[in-house]
Amino acid sequence: MSERRSREPEDRLGGAIDGALHLLDRQILDSFDKMVGKVDDVELTEGPDGLEITGLLTGAAALLPRLGGRLGDTTVRHWRALKPAEPLRSHPWRVDMTDVDRLDSAVHLSVAREGVLRKDRERHRLGQLTAMEVVYPDGNRLGRVLDVRFRPADDGRLVLRSLIVGRGRPGTLLGYDRRGDQGPWLVRTVVRGLHRHTAITPAARAEIDWSAATVTLDHVPHDAPGHAFG
């Protein structure tokens, strides 16, 4: 099946990507193009240069919290209650980034799917970060983290460099807030209008509080985000 496809071998892991727009919810395929699952969430670990992507999370324990709100809380609780005897049930299954080969419209692994999932650690999740509230030092609320931009370090580790923040209106996953040339005119005008307050800010100027689920900025961001691919 795969040899019939004549796609350019592109790999987006070599450049900047936006976590929610380009990685979350993508299909994971193994080295034989068999389906493994979705990128239900992304594992973030504090490294020498800040937060970096260390794994892809998949399965119910990763997906259900992302449903958000009361639905997310309830389904997570029920998921755990279905099998109380099982340890680490609310810990998601993870695919280590060392097993990831490349990213295009899907995530391709370099190994076969049999036994590729692990439950060996639990770190921060991208889905928690993109749900966080954004506040100023004086406590005034700005909005929500919509997306985060990663850039590869010299050794290829994807490090979090910027946050994209906005009012949290619908449609941020459609990409119009980052690409002004994407049609059709009707949809672009409406979605860009809704997202006229969306701005990008360096991660260095933001303080992430995981327990309070807030991000504090030391300035008011004004730069509209461009597209990660340039």
Partner 1 sequence: MKRYLAVALGILTAIGGFVDIGDLVTNAQVGARFGMSLAWVVIVGVLGICVFAEMSGRIAAVSGRATFDLVRERLGPRVGLLNLLGSMGVTFLTFIAEIGGVALSLQLVSSVNELLIVPLVGLLVWLLLWRAKFSAIENVLGLLGLALVVFAVALWQLGPDWGALAHQAATADKPGGESWTVYSYYAVALFGAAMTPYEVFFFSSGGVEEGWSREDIPVMRANVLIGFPLGGLLSLAIAGSTAMVFGPVGITVDTLGQVGLPIAVALGKIGVAVALVGFTAATFGAACETGLSVGYSIAQYFGAQWGKYVRPSEAAAFHLVLMVSTLLATAVLLAKVDPILVTEFSVVFSAVALPLTYFPILVVANDPDYLGEHVNGPVANLLGSIYLVLICVAAAVAVPLMIVTRMGQ
- Residues lying near partner 1 in the complex (CB under 8 A): 1-2, 4-7, 22, 24-28, 34-38, 40, 58, 63, 66-68, 71, 104-106, 170, 173-175, 179, 182-187, 229
Long-range contacts of 169-175 (CB under 8 A, 24+ apart): 169/194, 169/195, 170/194, 171/195, 172/20, 172/146, 172/147, 172/198, 173/20, 173/21, 175/21, 175/227
Contact status, residue 160 vs residue 167, Cβ threshold 8 Å: no
Q: How far is the CB of 181 from partner 1 (least distance, A)?
A: 8
What b-and-e string marks burial along 64-101, b requiring 16 or more CB atoms within 10 Å of the CB? bbbeeeeebeeebeebeeeeeeeeebbebbbbbbebbe
The residue (of 59 and 221) whose beta carbon lies closer to partner 1 is 59
CB of 49 to partner 1, least distance (A): 26
**Least distance in Å: CB of 150 to partner 1?**
15
In contact, 171 and 186? CB cutoff 8 Å: no
> CA 46 to CA 65: how far, in whole Å?
21
- The nearer residue to partner 1, 30 or 217, going by C-beta atoms, is 30
Residue 105 C-beta: closest distance to partner 1, Å: 4
Nearest distance from residue 47's CB to partner 1, in Å? 27
Is the Cβ of residue 6 or residue 98 nearer to partner 1 in the bound state?
6
* CB closer to partner 1 out of 26 and 197: 26
Nearer to partner 1, 11 or 25 (CB): 25
